[in-house]
Amino acid sequence: MNNQQGNISIHAQNIMPIIKRWLYSDKDIFIRELVSNGCDAITKQKMLNPSDEADYKVTVTLDTNAGELRFSDNGIGMTAEEVEKYINQVAFSGAEEFLKNYEGDGKSGIIGHFGLGFYSAFMVADKVTIQSLSGREGEASVCWESEDGMAFEMKDGTRTERGTDIILHISEEEQEFNDEFKVREVLTRYCGFMATPIYLDVIKDVEPEKDEDGNDKPIEIKEPEHINKIPALWLKKPSDCTDEEYKTFYKDVFHTYEDPLFYVHLNVDYPFNLKGILYFPKLTNDFGTREGEIKLFSGQVFVANNIKEVIPEFLMLLKGVIDCPDLPLNVSRSFLQNDGYVKKLSAYITRKVADKLTGLFNTERDNYQTYWDDIHPFVKYGCMRDAKFFEQVKDTLLFKSTKGDYFTLNEYIAKNEGTLGKKVIYTSDPTRQTASVALYDAENIDVIVLDALIDLNFASFIEYSAGIEDLHFARVDADSQTFAKEQSEDEKKQSEESEKKLVDLFKHATGNDTLQVKLSTLKDENLSALLTQDEQGRRFSEMSKIYGQDFKMPETHTLVLNTANTVVQSLIESEEGEKRDLMAAQLYDLARMSTRPLEKDEVTEFLARSNKLMEMLCK
Q: What is the mean pLDDT of residues 409-428?
A: 92
Which class in CATH covers the domain with range 233-363? alpha beta
Over range 197-212, report the average pLDDT: 82
Of 392 and 290, the structure prediction assigns the larger pLDDT to: 392
Strands 151-156 and 142-146: antiparallel
Q: Give mean pLDDT, residues 403-414.
A: 96
d(CA 17, CA 331): 11
For the chain, give the mean pLDDT: 83
Tell me if 348 sits within 8 A of 331, measured CB to CB: no
Of 261, 284, 594, 596, the C-alpha closest to 453 is: 284
pLDDT digits (tens, 9 = 90+) for 138-162: 899 999 999 887 788 999 999 999 9
More confident position, 168 or 535:
168
pTM of the model: 0.77
pLDDT tens for 561-602 read 888 888 888 888 888 888 888 888 888 888 888 777 788 888
Could you read off the pLDDT of 299-317 as tens digits, one per residue?
898 888 877 777 888 888 8
Residue ranges of the chain that CATH labels 1.20.120.790: 487-530+555-618
Buried/exposed 102-132: b ≥16 CB within 10 Å, e otherwise: eeeeeebbbbbbbbbbbbbbbbbbebbbbbb
The pLDDT-based confidence of 487 (bands split at 50, 70, 90) is: low
- DSSP secondary structure of 148-186: SSSEEEEEE----SSEEEEEEEE-GGGGGGGSHHHHHHH
User: What fold characterizes domain 487-530+555-618?
Assistant: Four Helix Bundle (Hemerythrin (Met), subunit A) (1.20.120)
Q: What percent of the chain has pLDDT over 70?
A: 83
Residues of the chain with CATH 3.30.230.80: 233-363
- Among 36-45, 353-362, 424-433, 491-500, the range scoring the smallest mean pLDDT is 491-500
Cite the residue boundaries of each domain of the chain with CATH code 3.30.565.10: 4-206+222-226
Sign of the dihedral through C-alpha 347, 353, 354, 355: positive
Q: What is the DSSP letter of 19?
A: I
Find out whether 476 and 440 touch, Cβ atoms under 8 Å.
Answer: yes
The beta-carbon contacts of 85-89 under 8 Å, at least 24 apart in sequence, are 86/114, 86/115, 87/8, 87/114, 87/115, 87/118, 87/130, 87/144, 87/152, 88/6, 88/8, 88/9, 88/152, 89/8, 89/9, 89/10, 89/11, 89/115
The residue with greater pLDDT, 43 or 100, is: 43
DSSP secondary structure string, 363-380?
Answer: H-HHHHHHHHHHHHHHHH
CB 205 within 8 A of CB 65: yes
Q: How far apart are the first and last CA of the chain?
A: 116
pLDDT at 78 over 50: yes
3-state SS track over 254-299: HCCCCCCCEEEEEEECCCCCEEEEEEECCCCCCHHHCCCEEEEEEC
pLDDT, average across residues 437-451: 91
Question: What helix, strand, coil percent values describe the chain, rounded to 5?
Answer: 45, 20, 35
Q: Are 297 and 266 in contact (CB under 8 A)?
A: no
Q: Is the pLDDT of residue 546 over 80?
A: no
- pLDDT tens readout for residues 249-276: 999 999 899 999 999 999 988 778 899 9
Burial 180-211 (b: 16+ CB within 10 A, else e): eeebbebbbebbbbbbbbbbbbbeeeeeeeee
Residue 519 to residue 502: CA distance in whole angstroms = 9
Residue pair 322/292 in contact (Cβ under 8 Å)? The answer is: no
Question: Which pLDDT band, with edges at 50, 70 and 90, does 549 fall under?
Answer: low
Predicted confidence (pLDDT) at residue 289 exceeds the cutoff of 50: no
At residue 217, does pLDDT exceed 50?
yes
pLDDT at position 19 over 50:
no
Please tell me what DSSP assigns to residue 227: S
Helix or strand holding residue 387 (H, E):
helix 387-393
The domain over range 4-206+222-226 is classified in CATH as 3.30.565.10: yes
CA 42: distance to chain centroid? Answer: 36
d(CA 369, CA 347): 26
Q: Does the pLDDT of residue 286 top 90, yes or no?
A: no
Total residue count of the chain as it appears in this document: 619
Residue 488: predicted pLDDT: 67
**DSSP class per residue in 299-361:** TTEEEEE--TTTS-GGGGGSEEEEE-TTS-SS--HHHHHH-HHHHHHHHHHHHHHHHHHHHHH
- For residue 341, the model assigns a pLDDT of 74
CA distances from 160 to 68, 430, 527 (A): 21, 76, 94
Tell me if 114 sits within 8 A of 77, measured CB to CB.
Answer: no
Q: How far apart are CA 602 and CA 619, in angstroms?
A: 26
pLDDT band (50, 70, 90) for residue 14? very low
- Whether the ω angle into residue 218 lies within 30 degrees of 0, i.e. cis, is no
